Amino acid sequence: MTTTHTPSILTGAIVLALSSQAASADQDANSEQTTTNKKVERIVVSGTPAGMGVRKIDASYAVTNIDAEQIIKLSPKSTADLFKAVPGVWVESSGGESGANVFVRGFPGGGDAPFLTLSLEGSPVYPAPTLSFLENSSLFRIDETIETMEALRGGPNPVVSNGQPGLTTNFRLKRGSEDTQGLFKYTTSDYDLQRVDAVVSGEISDDLYFMVGGYVKSSPGIRDAGFTSEKGSQFTINITKELDNGEMNFYTRQTDDHGAWYLPTPLNVDGIDAEYTQLGTLNRQATIYTGPNNDAHQVDIGDGRGWDGHVSGGSIKLEFDNGWTFSDRFNITKGDANTFGLVPAGSATTMGEVADNGQSATGAATGKTYESDTPVQQVGRWVVLKEISSFTNDLAFSKQFDDLSIALGYYTASTSANDWWSLGNTAYHVLEAGGEMLNDIACNESTEGCDFNYDINSSGDARTNAFYTTAQYKLSQALTLDGGLRYESHDVEYSVDEGLDGAINKTVQYDESKTSWTTGLNYSINDDMGVFARVNRGYKMPYFDDFRDNYGAYQGGEKLIKEVTQAELGYKLITQSTDFFATLFTNEVKGDTFVRRPGVPAEILTNEAYGVELDYNYNHESGFSVNLNSTIQETEITESPSNQGNKSQRQPKWQVRVTPSYDFEINGMYATLYGTLSAVDDRFGNNENTVTLDGYEKVDLGFILEPMEGIKLQLAIDNLTDEQGITEGDPRNADAPNGRYIMPRTTRLSVSYEF
């Protein structure tokens, strides 16, 4: 990271993207495939009303598909890590299992994932894309129960489902069939990961099928905390009933998974690198003080970030004799998404600069004396308790009339979040792995701490009702026109007690509505090739944090709605061996709000971006395959009080990932050798463009061997060359020489048995 006054000290390593084209069979439109003239044709459901489905070659928008075999090769360390394989998406997943930052097509953002919706079986797992300390991917864990994922950027997104104008990723669970199938998998690593996955599927009775599976795991973390800082389990049940004219499906996914929250660390202190974490046995137990009476609370920072709750839902799809099709999908999410972390508060310094006697201080846990040249840093003990729940339902009717097809739908969602925060509680700590808090520093021993405290207790409820319609008309054998409209009303009730003094000082009663639209053209050059064009306008409705951080603007009558206008022009080629999409895009986001840290006034701006996405898969019958996904983009802040004309923060001008793979036989055993080379350009760490985050390259390598039927061994090495890349600077103190490294080199070994 470089600033206007601190020279760069880093170059780096890469991101991920492993995909070899492998189309997987499925039992409904979500991943169903048929074979025609030896060409595999995939059906996609993203961007269609209630998941009705369309052939990928006929879709007038770009969709990326990643199936179970590709996920195995990608070996993602978190759900957000998998999104690196999607063109147009920039992911900062170096914070651990939860709390990633996901950016889409140059859309503005200061962190989290404000333009990402994660769906399971077509239903959003949580209608609000991002709340403070919570983005959608934190509520979802990838395991062996996943069959496939679709990722749609832009396209018809603003009209269907929850109206997300950015990125929608839809995960599909494995389903049972007449044959009983199963898998047992053990995984370990050079950082002492211990994980067991299992999944079994089959038939309960005629036309009634099941799938059950999950995992248990534990480890001290990729960045060793000295204790079991990552632990969790998940259990999933998926039941499918085939009907004479359709099907019903029900699922539940119970998760309790937590991991250390990795924060930015000093970049100018010897011995602190990608393997470093402040968290350790000497500082995980902490006392924090809140409210006007400085009430004391004992907390365990080792709980990190995670999700303890369930995501459950189902669907019914029916086809009637009169040609009408009915579909209804629902989802219920409920649980706790808490955050505990050691957050840096400014630059590193030395003991002599802060000790009461100007020379030394003693450790609060060990009593050890630390001399004046000891590196130290102010660290906040942050606690966020977040109880969330939501319910969504999406129903639609559709029918084909010769060259015209129409769909009518109704989407509703209720969302709630109850929060208790204590941000601040800062004290000087020794800068070493697990470095302890210090005595003999005045503010460390005061209940007021060395820095601000921002404490809140809040409750919020939101309700969304949307009516939408889509239509598609075949103008000729080769040319198709489609369009859609969505009318959405959005109500929010929210109250905040800032300061934890028992007095509510911010209240919100909000009711606004908007109409989104999309229209597209698709032209089939031949059976394998086509072009498409699309324009749309959608909106990101405000949720609870938008009002708290922009309360003055809300009181002044501002609607706090982000308006997103997009255009796309694409080329697609799908043959037996090749799957290629090239998409030109441009967009404008008005009314975006950026908050550097909670409690600080927001910056409201307009952002424009344009670029090209490349998504290429090639498979040769010889066993060789390659995936290329790349994004080149330009961004500009076109309206801002102080940053007009600057580039959008934390988004690279270009990024590329190339993944070759080769299948072969050795001594009668099947084997696969694969790898990924990823590269990313420099980025600005802030909207002021005074902080530059250096670009980096990264190499991953993997080997799969099947020594006997049903047995599979996999060795995966991430960051082979142990490059020290930086994903972000210090979002709370932009000019401080702090940053978050990509993960260091790790090696995983798994042994699985499949039957």
| Over residues 288-302, mean pLDDT | 93
Separation between Cα atoms, residue 588 and residue 612, nearest integer Å: 15
Q: Tell me, what's the pLDDT at 32?
A: 41
Domains of the chain are: 33-754 (2.40.170.20)
How many other β-carbons are positioned within 10 Å of the β-carbon of residue 610?
A: 17
Question: Where does residue 266 rank: exposed (0-12), middle (13-18), buried (19+ CB within 10 A)?
Answer: buried
Mean pLDDT calculated for residue range 115-127: 97
Pairing state between β 116-120 and 692-693: unpaired
pLDDT at 446: 65
What percent of the chain stands above pLDDT 70? 93
> pLDDT tens digits for 237-259?
999 999 999 999 999 999 999 99
Q: How far apart are CA 334 and CA 312, in angstroms?
A: 9
Kindly report, residue by residue over 405-419, the tens digit of the pLDDT.
999 999 999 999 999
Mean pLDDT computed over every residue of the chain: 91
Q: Is the dihedral of CA 214, 215, 216, 217 positive or negative?
A: negative
pLDDT of residue 43: 82
Show Cβ contacts of residue 420 under 8 Å, excluding neighbours closer than 6 positions. Answer: 383, 384, 385, 456, 457
Kindly report, residue by residue over 168-183, the tens digit of the pLDDT: 999 999 999 999 999 9
Q: What angle do CA 110, 114, 115 make, to 5 degrees?
A: 125
| Residue 645 or residue 730, greater confidence | 645
**pLDDT (0 to 100) of residue 731:** 84
Q: What is the mean pLDDT of residues 444-464?
A: 84
Q: What is the mean pLDDT of residues 652-677?
A: 96
Residue 599 — very low, low, confident or very high, per pLDDT cuts 50/70/90? low
Q: What percent of the chain has pLDDT over 90?
A: 84
Residue 545 sits at φ, ψ, to 5 deg, of: -65, -30
Residue 734: per-residue pLDDT = 80
- Predicted confidence band of residue 211 (pLDDT cuts 50, 70, 90): very high
The conformational region for residue 598 under phi > 0 = left, psi -120 to 50 = alpha, else beta, is beta
**537 Cβ contact partners less than 8 Å away, ≥ 6 residues apart:** 158, 516, 517, 518, 563, 564, 565, 566
Mean pLDDT within 95-112: 91
Q: pLDDT tens, 134-164?
A: 999 999 999 999 999 999 999 999 999 999 9
Q: Report pLDDT for 53.
A: 77
Residue 447 pLDDT level (bands cut at 50, 70, 90): low
pLDDT value at residue 544: 96
Least trusted range by pLDDT, from 507-511, 593-597, 661-665, 700-704: 593-597
449 confidence band (pLDDT: 50, 70, 90) = low
Torsion sign across C-alpha atoms 158, 163, 168, 172: negative
pTM: predicted TM-score of the whole model, two decimal places: 0.92
Residues 130, 636, 590, 59, CA torsion sign: negative
Q: Is the pLDDT of residue 4 over 50?
A: no
One-letter amino acid at 327 equals S
Mean of pLDDT values over 593-620 = 85
pLDDT at residue 556 in the model = 79
What is the tens place of the pLDDT at every residue in 41-91? 678 888 887 667 788 888 899 899 999 999 999 889 999 999 999 999 999
State the pLDDT at residue 597.
66
pLDDT surpassing 50 at residue 36: no
Which residues neighbour 549 within 8 Å (Cβ) at sequence distance 6 or greater?
593, 595, 598, 600, 601, 602
Q: What would the two tokens of residue 242 be?
A: 């085939």
What's the pLDDT score for residue 448? Answer: 60
Q: What is the pLDDT of residue 114?
A: 92
Predicted confidence at residue 436, as pLDDT, reads 97
Round to the nearest angstrom and report the end-to-end CA distance of the chain. Answer: 49
